[in-house]
Amino acid sequence: MSIFAALQVATRGARQSGASVPATWYARRAYSSSTLGVEVFNPSGEKRVVVTKMLPGTRWLDILTKKLGARVEVLTDERFAPTIVPNSAIVDLIGDQCDGVLGQLTEDWSAETFNALKSAGGVVYSNYAVGYNNVNVDDATAVNIAVGNTPGVLTETTAEITAALTLAAARRVVEADEFMRAGKYLGWLPDLFVGKLLQRGTLGLIGAGRIGSAYAKMMVEGHYMDLVYFDKFQNTKLEDYMKGYSDFLQSQGEKGITCTRVDTVEEVLSVSDVVSLHPLLDKTTHHLINEERLGVMKEDAILVNAARGPVVDEVALVAHLQANPNFRCGLDVFEDEPLMKPGLAECKNATIVPHIASASLWTRGGMATLAAQNISSFLQGHPGYDSPDMIPFVDGDFDSMPEACPSIVNMDQITR
Ligand SMILES: NC(=O)c1ccc[n+]([C@@H]2O[C@H](COP(=O)([O-])OP(=O)(O)OC[C@H]3O[C@@H](n4cnc5c(N)ncnc54)[C@H](O)[C@@H]3O)[C@@H](O)[C@H]2O)c1
């Protein structure tokens, strides 16, 4: 059983035991004229909120059913369980009366879905993600629908998988694992899976925001790497941190490290042993890494992408991996998810995982809490939250949670 499935069972067990939500709230029904399978909580709730995938934990459900007092319907239809929910099913799920939707980053939230929500009387949508490139915010704003996201709880978790991909790629962990399992290990050899040492190398960042900074700290402090970064904005907090860390190293009699902001992507690529991508996905970052820029990188460099797939031209990357066996990459995201470009799966110098960067139990529960709180607070007329610290929502006492929407990205353009 997967850890998520185990969590679902645990969560349901808690609910059924009455710890959080009375067992009588469980019911299955077909919605509208469709045959969609949904799970209903608090059926007599006045407002109606729909959720396109079952989420971990119970706090999010308590927020919607107890704080908001809403009827909550979660799409549990087995046809969509392992995959992306199509627009037709989302529109069907919304039906003719729906106040808010909690949806996934894999879904297409644009005119069709927002118009359906508007027609059903809906005023708020929250993405279950910090990134919201799957949401056309202008389309939502055009019909006065607020759009929420879940910043502040993915940072360390995503940084950790970025570090994991970096190390796995550098030291060829997956290749070596496959070799072992295939029974090919016949004894220690001087040249068996020789990889790349990161200590005192150069770490390149494209995008030095929350996740980029957290990852940089892990890598610089763990491996004494020099840091080079490119971002539209100077990150003085990160620079000050690195200066302090370098001073500390020197106070211990060790060589310091450097932190340099450069003016071009190419400057990062040409000097770095590891390049990690952490910008948001927009027109300026689509195919930011292309054939030409791959050609600027060191022949044995490591490229890591845990941001969004289309930041890298994946066809060009496959060709580069094929032509440069010492070049390695670690990918959490792909251009045409859930598909990979032809040839990638056969590249032994690529470490590939299925978009699991935020998949720690704490983070996934926290994301659910923030998304639910965006919807609940917005529907209760609460204001936006004015701090980046999301812990009071996620880990604080349930009854003293701030009465605010954690993150509504178009709050200023919405009329209430
Ligand atoms: N793989 C996953 O599961 C996962 C999880 C969380 C976040 N993400 C992705 O990571 C991205 C970053 O998240 P964050 O919380 O660090 O966001 P953030 O807003 O804190 O940081 C993004 C940084 O990118 C910079 N940037 C924007 N355009 C740029 C450009 N053209 N060139 C260079 N830098 C540019 C911004 O100035 C900012 O510093 C998200 O937008 C999301 O797409 C992926």
**Does the pLDDT at position 312 exceed 80?**
yes
Instruction: Verify that 205 and 337 share a domain, yes or no.
Output: yes
- Look-up of token digits 């031209």: 313
Expressed as residue numbers, the domain containing 141 is 3-153+360-413
Average pLDDT of span 156-179: 98
Protein residue with its CA nearest to atom 29 in ligand 1? 279
Instruction: Verify that 146 and 161 share a domain, yes or no.
Output: no
Determine the distance separating the centroid of ligand 1 and the alpha carbon of 206, expressed in angstroms. Answer: 9
Residue 97, classed as helix, strand or coil, is coil
Per-residue confidence (pLDDT) for residue 375, from 0 to 100: 98
Instruction: Verify that 285 and 345 share a domain, yes or no.
Output: yes
Burial 82-119 (b: 16+ CB within 10 A, else e): eeebeeebbbbbbbeebbbbbbbbbbbbbeebbbbbbe
Residues 222-270 have pLDDT tens digits of 999 999 999 999 999 999 999 999 999 999 999 999 999 999 999 999 9
Q: Which of 352, 374, 401 is the last residue of a domain?
A: 352
Instruction: Verify that 318 and 389 share a domain, yes or no.
Output: no
Protein residue with its CA nearest to atom 43 in ligand 1? 131
Instruction: Verify that 108 and 172 share a domain, yes or no.
Output: no
pTM: 0.86
Instruction: Verify that 143 and 275 share a domain, yes or no.
Output: no
Residue 190 CB neighbours (<10 A):
5
- For ligand 1, what atom is nearest to the CA of residue 133? 43
Q: What is the tally of structural domains in the chain?
A: 2
Residues 135-155 have pLDDT tens digits of 999 999 999 999 999 999 999
Instruction: Verify that 366 and 303 share a domain, yes or no.
Output: no
Instruction: Verify that 89 and 179 share a domain, yes or no.
Output: no
Protein residue with its CA nearest to atom 26 in ligand 1? 279
Per-residue confidence (pLDDT) for residue 25, from 0 to 100: 32
Instruction: Verify that 300 and 396 share a domain, yes or no.
Output: no
Percent of the chain with pLDDT over 90: 91
Phi, psi values for residue 95, rounded to 5°: 65, -150
Residues 377-416 have pLDDT tens digits of 999 999 999 999 999 999 999 999 999 999 999 999 999 9
Residues 6 or more apart in contact with residue 397 via CB below 8 angstroms: none
Q: Which of 305, 329, 352 is the last residue of a domain?
A: 352
Instruction: Verify that 110 and 13 share a domain, yes or no.
Output: yes
What is the distance between the alpha carbons of residues 353 and 337, in angstroms, rounded to a whole number?
12
- Our mutation pick for probing the ligand 1 site, out of 104, 105, 128, 130, counting the most ligand atoms within 8 A of Cβ, is 130
Structure tokens at 167: 């190390």
Instruction: Verify that 369 and 279 share a domain, yes or no.
Output: no
| Residue from 86, 85, 113, 88 nearest 101 by CA | 113
DSSP 142: H
- Asked if residues 109 and 125 have their Cβ atoms less than 8 Å apart, the reply is yes
Q: Which of 312, 335, 352 is the last residue of a domain?
A: 352
Determine the distance separating the centroid of ligand 1 and the alpha carbon of 202, expressed in angstroms. Answer: 21
